């Protein structure tokens, strides 16, 4: 499905990010992923699926720019960008300091925006490409989650719609995937009572898997989704 295509995934060492990398590789893509601090995990994943890993500090706009420029010097195109990287902080509003807010916004919003800016220039030259952003149900439903995480993930939806409109003339599609409760990863820290309440109100009666999220990401990035643009696709089991 992606033979000969170059796919860049941010936050590839994350729980969902690593599954996205694996699935794109299964679909014959040339996979490139970014990571920040977990070099050991990045090296392990690179060897596992035979792909390229790049250390990028998504909180540093200059680092983003230089690393993407270097990548474009090595390959002709980036056909698909998956903005997966994100962080969260478990702090209530009453305990937040400015630097706490800045840390989350720098990665989840500024990082996503400036990676997209750096990558999409190449897509414009080729007049083709697909961008898939990773949102969260935390930005769409009333859940007991940190406010900084919820507000940045809600912003991903607006960013997706705006970018889809801006780049339609270059035949670049921009969509987002909005996962619900996913087994593993950050969901391991969800209290049992909240998990049980989510599943109780979920139409499928269970949490999702990283593989299920990855399948939707790959579909939206593929030509099979050529008539889907500017959409925020919920992958939440029906909440």
Per residue in 105-154, pLDDT (tens digit) is: 999 999 999 999 999 999 999 999 999 999 998 787 767 778 898 999 99
Strands 80-83 and 6-9: parallel
Q: Give domain status of residue 1, yes or no.
A: no
Domain that holds residue 130: 6-235
pTM of the model: 0.95
* C-alpha 136: how far from chain center: 10
pLDDT digits (tens, 9 = 90+) for 4-47: 999 999 999 999 999 999 999 999 999 999 999 899 999 999 99
Select from 166, 163, 189, 187 the least CA-distant residue to 176. 163
What span, in angstroms and rounded, lies between the C-alpha atoms of 82 and 20?
A: 9
**Total structural domains in the chain?**
1
SS (H, E, C) 3-20: CCCEEEECCCCCHHHHHH
Catalytic residues: 149
Select from 225, 229, 81, 116 the least CA-distant residue to 168. 229
Which CATH number characterizes residue 104's domain?
Answer: 3.40.50.720
Q: Give domain status of residue 90, yes or no.
A: yes
């Amino acid at each position: 499905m992606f033979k000969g295509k170059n796919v860049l995934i941010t936050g590839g060492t994350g729980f969902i990010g690593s599954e996205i990398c694996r699935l794109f590789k299964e679909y014959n893509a040339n996979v490139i992923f970014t990571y920040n601090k977990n070099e050991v995990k990045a090296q392990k994943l690179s060897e596992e699926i035979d792909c390229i890993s790049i250390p990028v500090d998504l909180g540093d706009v200059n680092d983003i720019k230089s690393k993407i420029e270097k990548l474009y010097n090595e390959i002709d195109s980036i056909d698909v960008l998956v903005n997966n990287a994100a962080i969260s902080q478990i702090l209530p509003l009453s305990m937040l300091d400015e630097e706490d807010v800045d840390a989350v916004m720098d990665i989840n919003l500024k990082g996503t925006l400036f990676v997209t800016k750096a990558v999409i220039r190449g897509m414009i030259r080729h007049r083709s490409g697909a961008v898939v952003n990773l949102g969260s149900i935390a930005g769409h439903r009333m859940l007991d989650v940190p406010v900084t995480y919820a507000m940045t993930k809600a912003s991903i939806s607006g960013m997706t719609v705006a970018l889809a409109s801006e780049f339609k003339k270059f035949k670049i599609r921009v969509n987002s995937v909005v996962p619900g409760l996913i087994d593993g990863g950050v969901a391991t820290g969800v209290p049992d009572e909240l998990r049980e309440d989510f599943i109780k109100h979920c139409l499928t009666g269970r949490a999702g898997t990283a593989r299920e999220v990855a399948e939707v990401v790959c579909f939206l990035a593929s030509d099979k989704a050529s008539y889907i643009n500017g959409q925020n696709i919920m992958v939440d089991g029906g909440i």
